[in-house]
Every structure is written in structure tokens, then in C-alpha cells.
Amino acid sequence: MSSAGMKAGDLFRADLARYYAQLPPGISRLRRLQLALRAEGVCAIGWYRFGQYLHNEASLPVRLLGELPYRIAEKWISYTAGIHLHPRTSIGPGFYIGHYGGIWISPLVRLGANCSVHQGVTIGVAGLRDPGRGGPQLGDRVWVGPNAVVTGQVRIGNGAVIGANSLVASNIPENGVAVGVPARVIGCSGSASLIRLAGEQDPPAAD
């Protein structure tokens, strides 16, 4: 799923669908929304999408009226939930934050669709900040484990897995499973068993 041409509201609905996919089937729509909105990650992502709306879609009067409340709430979320998402950061639909706290993602980063990050994750640019340099680029359905660091102009392929406490400073191939400091690829099973999307069945149990 590409984010090209998608509005901020559509992107956020796709984000919510990722959270809904973690809930038991059969509960009402209102109950699903209530449960999802209790998650600090949903609040942070929702406010990030609102920032995208202000910067990319809103009329000038709306932008001027909304900028100060947005900045105040952005700082509040950063301090209380420990989640830093800049509206210039390019994040595709279906973004999921598993647990809050200590998450920092640079404005120069690009994340594909249906990516998951967890507590303590840093994704940014190595060394001094240079606006002319790109940051890490993560493909679709990439799973980033707790306390992992992804740094530099690296490319992470679709379906890749970055293990907890890993330091990624080089490219990871599609469906690669990378662990360690520095991270090295130890397998190619990918993230299908870690990232559940709406409508997908659980993978069959091993015999």
C-alpha cells in the first residue's frame, strides 16, 4: 500500500486498522475505537497525522490557527509518552507503535507501509545533521524491536526484522532478520509472523 496521494485522515484510518487487528474479533466498532485510543502510540500517531494535515493540506487560515495548539500538544506527547514524530517524517499507512517510551524518529527518515516500532527505538542520521543527506529508508512491513538503533543512509528491505537491542548501520535485504551490535543478517524468514494485518490469518503452526 503506497501513501502517495493519501490524505492524512486516510493514513490515520490505516494506522487504526493495525491496532484493530490486535484486538479480539467480534467486538463492536465503538469498543474497538475506545480500546485503540487508550494506547499512547495511537495518540502520538494521530497527532503526527494532524501535523501532516496542517503542513500539507490545510488552508493558510487553518494552519495559522492550528499551529500553536499543535506545537504545544506535540511537546506534551514527546515529554509524557516519550514519542517524537516530526510531521516532515515520511511514514506510510498502517504505522504501529507497540509500546511507548524513548522513541525518536528523524525528519529525514522514510518508513513504508505497515511498519512496527517498539519502545526505545531510535531511527536517525549518523554524525552531524546535514539537510542534503538522506536518512534511513525502511521498506514496507518492517518490524523494529525494542531498543534498536537504525542510523545512517541505510536501506532496510520490505519485510525485514531488526531484533531487540540491535545497531543497524548497513543495508538489510528484503525479509532479512538482523540482530546484534553491529547487526548482521542471520536469516530470511521476514516479518510475516510478527506483523498481523487486518484480514490475515495466523500462520499455521509448525508440525
| Count of domains forming the chain | 2
Locate all alpha helices (DSSP H) within the chain, ordered by sequence: 8-20, 29-37, 40-56, 60-81
**Domain closes at, from 40, 55, 85:** 85
Phi, psi for 167 (deg, rounded to 5): -120, 110
CB neighbours of residue 137 within 10 Å:
18
Residue 170 lies in a domain: yes
Residue 207, pLDDT score: 42
Number of H helices, E strands in the chain: 4, 15
Regarding whether 112 and 185 lie in a shared domain, the answer is yes
Regarding whether 189 and 106 lie in a shared domain, the answer is yes
Regarding whether 144 and 69 lie in a shared domain, the answer is no
Measured CA to CA in angstroms, residue 194 lies from 34, 63, 136, 165 at distances of: 24, 38, 21, 17
Residue ranges making up the domain that contains 141: 102-194
Q: Are 88 and 109 in contact (CB under 8 A)?
A: no
pTM beyond 0.85: the answer is yes
CATH code for the domain in which residue 160 is found: 2.160.10.10
Residue 135 lies in a domain: yes
Residue 35, pLDDT score: 78
Cell 552531524 sits on residue: 128
Residue 206, pLDDT score: 42
Regarding whether 130 and 167 lie in a shared domain, the answer is yes
Residue 129, pLDDT score: 54
**Domain closes at, from 57, 85, 113:** 85
pLDDT tens by residue, the chain, 207 residues: 556 678 999 999 999 999 888 887 778 888 888 877 788 889 999 999 999 999 999 999 999 999 999 999 999 999 999 999 999 999 999 999 988 899 999 999 999 999 999 999 999 987 655 555 679 999 999 999 999 999 999 999 999 999 999 999 999 999 999 999 999 999 999 999 998 786 666 554 444
**Domain closes at, from 60, 85, 110:** 85
Regarding whether 128 and 74 lie in a shared domain, the answer is no
